[in-house]
Amino acid sequence: MTPFDRPPVGMNLARTSKVVAQAFDAALVEAGGTLPVWLTLLSVKSKELANQRELAGMIGIQGATLTHHLNAMETQGLLTRRRDPENRRVHQVALTEAGEALFEKLRLAAVAFDKRLRAGIPDDRLAEFAEVLAMLRRNAEASQS
């Protein structure tokens, strides 16, 4: 058996990741959001108040990209930003009532998508899969060092 008798793990993972990401984004769009909006709402919700620098790190995007998303979300009435009284260079971000409502819609869409994605896969296989993904992530991170 040669290494090319089946697709390399990385290629298979990349293809699967792309398909799953596109399907997840479509589910979020159908619920009235997008992946960046969901990640922003989720990050703000997980911390009562978060500053923009922390948010960018939690979401995994650059500060300028986050600012673009936050400006749009603030215009839509989903969140507020205010200067931190202890550090005027830092903005604190909080969800509005409309942001809370959209968060809940997107949360339900994410849970339904996850349920659909896991359909027919026993819990023990999912646990093993999570372990394998963690090992692949560690191996990939080690190769970047």
pTM: 0.81
In this predicted model, what pLDDT tens digit does every residue of 127-144 receive, in sequence order? 999 999 999 999 988 987
126 part of a folded domain: no
Helix (H, G, I), strand (E, B) or coil at 119: coil
79 part of a folded domain: yes
Please count the other Cβ atoms lying within 10 Å of the Cβ belonging to residue 95: 20
69 part of a folded domain: yes
74 part of a folded domain: yes
In this predicted model, what pLDDT tens digit does every residue of 74-105 receive, in sequence order? 999 999 988 878 877 777 888 999 999 999 99
129 part of a folded domain: no
137 part of a folded domain: no
Could you list the residue range(s) of the whole structural domain that residue 38 is in?
Answer: 10-120
66 part of a folded domain: yes
Instruction: Compute the distance between CA of residue 98 and CA of residue 41 in angstroms, rounded to an integer.
Output: 11
The CATH code of the domain that includes 22 is 1.10.10.10
Model pLDDT, residue 67: 86
Instruction: Compute the distance between CA of residue 15 and CA of residue 77 in angstroms, rounded to an integer.
Output: 36
Count of structural domains, the chain: 1
71 part of a folded domain: yes
